[in-house]
Amino acid sequence: MNEITKIETTLKDWETDQEVRWCPGCGDYAILKAVQRTLPQLGSDPKNTCFISGIGCSSRFPYYMETYGFHTIHGRAPAFATGVKLANPDLDVWLVTGDGDGLSIGGNHLMHVLRRNVNMQIMLFNNEIYGLTKGQYSPTSRENTRTPTSPLGSVDRPANPCAFALGAGARFVGRGIDVSKNLPDVLMAAHAHQGAAFIEIFQNCIVYNKDVFDDFAAPKGAELQQLWLEDGEPMLFGNAKKGPVKGLKLVPEKFTFEVVDVEDGDWEAAGVCVHDAKNRALAHMLVELPFGEFPMPLGVIYDDPRPTYESAVIDERRRSIEGKDTSLAKLLAKGQSWTVSGTAQDPQ
Amino acid sequence: MATQAADNPALKSTDGSPDAVVVRFAGDSGDGMQLTGGQFTLSTALAGNDLATFPDFPAEIRAPQGTLFGVSAFQINFGSREISTAGDAPDVLVAMNPAALKTNLDALKPGGLIIADSGEFTQRNLDKAKYDVNPLEDGSLAKWDVLAFDISALTIEAVKDFGLGNKDALRSKNMWTLGLALWMFDRDRQPIVDWLKAKFKSKPEIADANIAALNAGHAYGETAELSGPLKKVTVGPVASEPGLYRTITGAEAVSLGLVAGAQLAGLPMFFGGYPITPASSILHHLARLKEFGVTTFQAEDEIAAICASIGASYAGQLGVTSSSGPGIALKGEAMGLAVMTEMPLVIVNSQRGGPSTGLPTKTEQSDLYQAVYGRNGDAPIPVIAASSPGDVFECAIEACRIAVEYMTPVMLLTDGYIANAAEPWRVPDPSTFEPFKVEFLTENNNPGGKVLPYKRDAKGARPWIKPGTPGLMHRIGGIEKKVDTGNIDYSPENHQEMTDLRKAKIDNIKIKDQGVTLGDEGGKLAVVGWGSTFGPIRRAVDNCRKKGLDVSHIHFRHIWPLPANSGELLRKYERILVPEMNTGQFKTVLRDQLLVDAKPYTKTSGQPFKIAELEAAIEEALA
Please list the residues that pair with B21 across neighbouring strands: B78
- State ipTM: 0.97
Residues of A in contact with B49 (CB under 8 A): none
Whether the per-residue pLDDT at B13 is higher than 50: the answer is: no
Does A5 contact B at CB distance below 8 Å? Answer: no
pLDDT category, A336, cuts 50, 70, 90? confident
pLDDT at A327: 92
Residues of A in contact with B197 (CB under 8 A): none
Question: What pLDDT digit, counting tens, does each position of A215-268 carry?
Answer: 999 999 999 999 999 999 999 999 999 899 999 999 999 999 999 999 999 999
- As a whole number, mean pLDDT of residues B479-497 equals 97
Whether the per-residue pLDDT at B536 is higher than 90: the answer is: yes
Cβ separation A347–B46 shorter than 8 A: yes
Cβ separation A340–B48 shorter than 8 A: yes
Whether the per-residue pLDDT at A345 is higher than 60: the answer is: no
Does A107 contact B at CB distance below 8 Å? Answer: no
CB pairs A-B closer than 8 Å:
208
Tell me how long chain B is.
623
Nearest-Cα residue of chain A relative to residue B472: A47
Q: In what order do the strands lie in the sheet with B318-323?
A: B294-298, B269-273, B318-323, B345-351, B409-415, B383-385, B558-560
Whether the per-residue pLDDT at B207 is higher than 70: the answer is: yes
Q: For Cα atoms B606, B608, B613, give the angle at the middle one, nearest 5 degrees.
A: 115
Whether the per-residue pLDDT at B5 is higher than 80: the answer is: no
Of B247, B289, B478, the CB nearest to A72: B478
Alpha-carbon distance values, A160 to A104, A165, A212, A248, B399 (Å): 12, 9, 15, 21, 44
Residues of A in contact with B256 (CB under 8 A): 331-332
User: What angle, 0 to 180 degrees and rounded to 10, lies between the N-to-C axes of helices B389-406 and B250-265?
Assistant: 30
- As a whole number, mean pLDDT of residues B137-159 equals 93
Q: Identify the sign of the CA torsion B275, B278, B279, B284.
A: positive
Whether the per-residue pLDDT at B590 is higher than 80: the answer is: yes
Does A211 contact B at CB distance below 8 Å? Answer: no
Name the residue with higher pLDDT: B164 or A274: A274
Pick the closest to residue B496 from B476, B482, B509, B506 (CA basis): B482
Pick the closest to residue A118 from B205, B279, B312 (CA basis): B312
Closest CA of chain A from B462, distance in Å? 16
- As a whole number, mean pLDDT of residues A116-143 equals 97
pLDDT at B1: 46
pLDDT at B16: 60
Cβ separation B304–A112 shorter than 8 A: yes
For residue B91, what is the DSSP state? S
pLDDT at B9: 46
pLDDT at B320: 98
Measured between alpha carbons, how far is B138 from A66 in angstroms, rounded to an integer? 84
pLDDT at B14: 45
Question: What pLDDT digit, counting tens, does each position of B239-276 carry?
Answer: 888 999 999 999 999 999 999 999 999 999 999 999 99
- As a whole number, mean pLDDT of residues B490-498 equals 97
pLDDT category, B233, cuts 50, 70, 90? confident
Cβ separation B476–A338 shorter than 8 A: no
Measured between alpha carbons, how far is B86 from A146 in angstroms, rounded to an integer? 64
Q: In what order do the strands lie in the sheet with A49-53?
A: A226-229, A296-303, A172-177, A196-202, A120-126, A92-98, A49-53, A68-71, B475-477
Could you write out the DSSP letters of every residue in B160-198? GGGT--HHHHHTTHHHHHHHHHHHHTT--SHHHHHHHHH
Average pLDDT of chain B? 93
Of B191, B295, B474, the CB nearest to A347: B191
Half-sphere exposure of B229 (CA within 13 A, CB side): 24
Of B188, B242, B304, the CB nearest to A76: B304
Residues of A in contact with B270 (CB under 8 A): 83, 86-87
Tell me how long chain A is.
348
Question: What pLDDT digit, counting tens, does each position of A151-192 carry?
Answer: 999 999 999 999 999 999 999 999 999 999 999 999 999 999
Residues of B in contact with A18 (CB under 8 A): 475, 487-488
Does A70 contact B at CB distance below 8 Å? Answer: yes
Question: What pLDDT digit, counting tens, does each position of B130-143 carry?
Answer: 999 999 999 999 99
Pick the closest to residue A337 from B388, B419, B250, B424 (CA basis): B424
B343, B409 Cβ separation under 8 angstroms: yes
Whether the per-residue pLDDT at A3 is higher than 90: the answer is: no
Please list the residues that pair with A234 across neighbouring strands: A274
Residues of A in contact with B260 (CB under 8 A): 328, 332
pLDDT category, A344, cuts 50, 70, 90? very low
Measured between alpha carbons, how far is B343 from B389 in angstroms, rounded to an integer? 28
- As a whole number, mean pLDDT of residues A281-303 equals 97
A337-341 and A344-347 strand pairing: antiparallel
Closest CA of chain B from A55, distance in Å? 9
Count helices and strands (H / E) in chain B: 20, 21
Cβ separation A338–B45 shorter than 8 A: yes
Whether the per-residue pLDDT at B3 is higher than 80: the answer is: no
Measured between alpha carbons, how far is A74 from A97 in angstroms, rounded to an integer? 9
- As a whole number, mean pLDDT of residues B565-573 equals 98
What values do phi and psi take at A320, rounded to 5? -80, -15
What pTM did the predictor assign?
A: 0.93
Closest CA of chain A from B199, distance in Å? 13
Pick the closest to residue A47 from B10, B225, B444, B431 (CA basis): B444
pLDDT at B8: 40
Reading phi first (left if > 0) and then psi (alpha if -120 to 50, else beta), residue B584 is in left
Q: What percent of chain A has pLDDT over 70?
A: 97
Whether the per-residue pLDDT at A346 is higher than 80: the answer is: no
Pick the closest to residue B481 from B453, B457, B460, B503 (CA basis): B453
Could you write out the DSSP letters of every residue in B288-355? T-GGGTEEEEE-SSHHHHHHHHHHHHHTTSEEEEEE-HHHHHHHHHHHHHHHHTT--EEEEEEE-B-S
pLDDT category, B290, cuts 50, 70, 90? very high
Does A119 contact B at CB distance below 8 Å? Answer: no
Question: What pLDDT digit, counting tens, does each position of B506-528 carry?
Answer: 999 999 999 999 999 999 999 99
B323, B303 Cβ separation under 8 angstroms: no
Q: How far apart are the first and last CA of chain B?
A: 50
pLDDT at A348: 47
* 3-state secondary structure at position B576: strand
Measured between alpha carbons, how far is A18 from A22 in angstroms, rounded to an integer? 12
Residues of B in contact with A48 (CB under 8 A): 467-468
B472, B345 Cβ separation under 8 angstroms: no
Closest CA of chain A from B437, distance in Å? 16
pLDDT at B563: 98
pLDDT category, B227, cuts 50, 70, 90? low
Pick the closest to residue A150 from A214, A97, A209, A212 (CA basis): A209
pLDDT at B61: 78
Please list the residues that pair with B426 across neighbouring strands: B245
pLDDT at B30: 85
* 3-state secondary structure at position A300: strand
pLDDT at B223: 81
Measured between alpha carbons, how far is A95 from A196 in angstroms, rounded to an integer? 10
Nearest-Cα residue of chain B relative to residue A51: B475
Does A79 contact B at CB distance below 8 Å? Answer: yes
Average pLDDT of chain A? 95
pLDDT at B29: 86
Contacts of A264 (CB under 8 A, 6+ apart): none
Q: For Cα atoms B148, B152, B155, give the angle at the middle one, nearest 5 degrees.
A: 115
Whether the per-residue pLDDT at A77 is higher than 60: the answer is: yes
Whether the per-residue pLDDT at B327 is higher than 70: the answer is: yes
Identify from A5, A84, A321 which residue to disrupt to test chain B contact, counting B C-beta atoms within 10 A and taking the largest count.
A84
Of B270, B300, B487, the CB nearest to A87: B270
Amino acid at B392: V
Residues of B in contact with A81 (CB under 8 A): 311
CB burial string B540-560: b at 16+ within 10 A, e below:
bbbbbbeeebebbbbbbbbbb
pLDDT at B21: 94
Measured between alpha carbons, how far is B93 from B112 in angstroms, rounded to an integer? 8
